[in-house]
Amino acid sequence: MAYYKDTDFYKQVLKTKYKRPVQMMNYIDSLYKNFLEPNGLGDIISDLPNALINNKLKLTNRLSKLIKVLRLVAAKEASNPNSFYFNGRSLASFNQWIVVLELYIDFIKKLPGGKSGGFSWERQWDNTIKLLESQIESLDGTASLIKLCGNKKRFIEEALKNSVFMDPSNVISRFNDIQIAFNFKTPLLFARKSEDKKIQNVISGARYFYYVDLSGATQSLQIKKDKDGNEAVRKLIKNSTGFDVSNGAKSKIINYKISHIWQNAFDPRYFTNLWNIVLVPNWANDLLDKTSFINLFNLQFINTYRAVCNQFYKMSSLSWSGVQMNQPVVDVRFIVHGNYEILYFNGTKIASTTVTV
C-alpha cells in the first residue's frame, strides 16, 4: 500500500501510548482501499509519513477538510445504498470512517515533534479536496444516466461496451505512415485549426504550419488544415473499414461521434493517429472531448478510456521517438479498473472483445 512505504516510521508510531493505534491504522487502511483509492484520491494519504514528520498542523487541517467532504458524501448519498462512493459498504460503515478520521486527528496531535514548513504534498492534497467537493456539490447533467446504469462503474462499462475502437493493425500502419511523413515532411499531414496559435497561417489563404518544441527548439512542419475538423479522420475510417461515420445520410454508424481520447487535434501527430480515435456514443462523448470543466468522474472516465486504448493497441510497443514525442500519459490514479467489453473494427466488420485494465 502506498502510504505504508516507510514501515520503520509506522512501527515507531504504533509504539506510542495512544489507545488502539493498530485498530485505528486498520480503519485508515479500509478508508484508503475502499473510498480514496477507488475514487482516484489515494495521493491525499499516500505521503502521510512525510506529512506527519514535517507539519502536523497542516496535515490535521487537511484531514478536517476531508472529513467535511466525507460528510457531504454521506448526506448526498444516504438514500442510495448502491452509491459508487460506498464501494459496496454500508452507510453506517462509511460514517464510521468519518469518526475514525476525527480520532486519527487527535492521534496525530498527540505525536511528539513535528517541524514547521511546507512540503510537496500540500498542493496535490488541496487540489484533490477541491475536486471531490466539486463532484459532490455540483449539478451534474450525467447523474440521471448514471442512476439508470446503477452506479458510475456500470456507466463506464456501458459506454465502453458501445464504443467502437480502431483495428489494432490499422493503428500500427497509420502510426508508421505518420512517422514517415513527420520525418520526411511528405506527404503533408492534416491537423485541426486551433485557437492556441500552434497552427498558424503564414501566407494568408495558402500554407499552414504546425509549431512544436523539439529538443528545446521551436520547429515548424507544413501541414494541411482539415476542412471541417474531422474530414481527414472520416476518410481514414472509410478507406480502412468501408464504414461511413459522421457523414450525414451516408453514415452506417449513427448517433456516434469521433472522439480524440488524448485530444490535441491541432497536433498532426495526434489528429489522424488512430490510437487517439474512438467512436463514442453521443450520450457519452462530451465527457471525453470537452474539458472546460473537469471533475472527479470526468477524470475517471477519460483515464479509463485511455487505459483501454493503451492496453488494446499495445501502445508501449510503438516507436514514439520516431515522431519525437513521449507516449501519451494515462493517469493511473483515475483508472476505474475492470474487465471491459468493447467493440472494434476488425477489417471490414465490427467485432467485440474484452480488455482488462
Residues in Cβ contact with 134 at an 8 Å cutoff, skipping those fewer than 6 apart: 295, 296
For the cut 90, the answer to whether the pLDDT of residue 334 exceeds it is no
- The whole-angstrom separation of Cα 97 and Cα 24 is 10
- The whole-angstrom separation of Cα 160 and Cα 303 is 12
Instruction: Categorize the per-residue pLDDT at 135 as very low, low, confident or very high, splitting at 50, 70 and 90.
Output: low
pLDDT over 90 percentage in the chain: 31
**Could you read off the pLDDT of 7-29 as tens digits, one per residue?**
344 444 444 444 444 455 555 55
pLDDT of residue 36: 63
Closest CA to 97 of 146, 21, 34: 34
The more confident residue out of 232 and 94 is 232
In whole angstroms, how far apart are CA 141 and each of 84, 138, 207, 287, 304?
17, 10, 41, 11, 20
Beta carbons within 10 angstroms of residue 136's beta carbon: 18
Least confident residue range of 32-36, 39-43, 105-109, 114-118:
114-118
Cα 30 to the center of its chain, rounded Å: 24
> Contact 278/174 with Cβ under 8 angstroms?
no
For the cut 90, the answer to whether the pLDDT of residue 192 exceeds it is no
How buried is residue 326: exposed, middle or buried, by Cβ count under 10 Å (0-12/13-18/19+)?
Answer: exposed
Residues 318-334 have a mean pLDDT of 91
pLDDT of residue 157: 96
Whether residue 112 is preceded by a cis peptide bond, meaning omega within 30 degrees of 0, is no
pLDDT of residue 221: 79
Instruction: Categorize the per-residue pLDDT at 257 as very low, low, confident or very high, splitting at 50, 70 and 90.
Output: very high
Cell readout for 264 is 490535441
> Contact 343/161 with Cβ under 8 angstroms?
yes
CA diameter of the chain:
77
Residues in Cβ contact with 338 at an 8 Å cutoff, skipping those fewer than 6 apart: 153, 156, 157, 356, 357
- How would you classify the pairing of strands 164-165 and 277-281? antiparallel
> Contact 173/161 with Cβ under 8 angstroms?
no
Least confident residue range of 136-145, 147-156, 239-248:
136-145
Beta carbons within 10 angstroms of residue 233's beta carbon: 23
pLDDT of residue 33: 63
> Contact 341/324 with Cβ under 8 angstroms?
no
Q: Whole-model pTM?
A: 0.67
The more confident residue out of 113 and 299 is 299
Q: What is the mean pLDDT of the chain?
A: 75
> Contact 357/335 with Cβ under 8 angstroms?
yes
For the cut 90, the answer to whether the pLDDT of residue 324 exceeds it is no
pLDDT of residue 116: 42
pLDDT of residue 179: 94
The more confident residue out of 62 and 276 is 276
For the cut 60, the answer to whether the pLDDT of residue 137 exceeds it is no
> Scanning the structure block, which residue is given the C-alpha cell 476542412?
227
Instruction: Categorize the per-residue pLDDT at 327 as very low, low, confident or very high, splitting at 50, 70 and 90.
Output: very high
Residues in Cβ contact with 141 at an 8 Å cutoff, skipping those fewer than 6 apart: none
pLDDT over 70 percentage in the chain: 57
Instruction: Categorize the per-residue pLDDT at 60 as very low, low, confident or very high, splitting at 50, 70 and 90.
Output: confident
